[in-house]
Every structure is written in structure tokens, then in C-alpha cells.
Amino acid sequence: MKTVLVSAVALIDVDGRVLLAQRPEGKSMAGLWEFPGGKVERGETPEAALIRELHEELGIGTWASCLAPLTFASHTYEDFHLLMPLFACRKWEGTPEAREGQTLAWARPNQLRDYPMPPADLPLIPILRDWL
């Protein structure tokens, strides 16, 4: 079974809210909410992948020094295994905007369970909520 490495981030604003993105129609798991991020390309670090993905998906910039490793998900789907480090980030340049057809929402930590998420993301919620 193939292992896929995906890097994700909990962007945390000054009010302590976390940014979530809803997967657009046409993508696998469309309609589910997730932490922004994406696949780590060959030769990329998880931090470099996040910096690239945040620019492409949300139009914001950040730095590796602003990405704090928080936890990770390890989940087996039907046709692949997902390994997903989750970073926390409180500092970035620009205002997040949906650039790839996704819907964005800022959620308070105690509201994260109100958003339907992929199975791999669910165990991350209590860890993030307790940390915040």
C-alpha cells in the first residue's frame, strides 16, 4: 500500500480561531472540511510544502520558523495510507482567500467538531483544542 505524505497547518488568528477549508466539488472527499495544506512533493520538506501550498491555495506567505510542529495523523484509507504532520502557525503575510474553489471558515476550537472532516483529521481536533 502506498504511503502519501501530506503537510497540514492550523492557521490561528489573533482571536484564537482556526482556518478550515472545505474541499470543492470534483475532488475526493468533496464537501468535507480540512486544515489547509497539501502533498509533499519529492525533494520537499513538510515545511516547504506548506509554504508553497499556502501561497497557491490561500495567497498568503509564511516562513518555516513560524511553523511549529504540533502533532500528526496516521490513517489508512481504502487505497493508500496517509501520514500528515500538523503544524501550528500564528504569523503570516496577507489575508487568506480561497484561490482553488474551496470555501473558507474561521472556527473557534470548541466548534471544530461542527465541521464534517475526513477520518484522518478527526483525531487532530482534541489535540489542537487542548493546545489552544
Mean pLDDT over 12-20 rounds to: 97
CATH number 3.40.50.970 given to 3-131: no
Where in the chain are the domains?
3-131
Residue tagged 506567505 (cell numbers) = 61
Q: What is the pLDDT of residue 120?
A: 94
Instruction: Dump pLDDT digits (tens) for 17-34.
Output: 999 999 988 888 889 999
Question: Which of 130, 9, 24 is CA-nearest to residue 73?
Answer: 9
As a three-state string, the secondary structure of 57-102 is HHCCECCHHHCEEEEEEEEECCCCEEEEEEEEECCCECCCCCCCCC
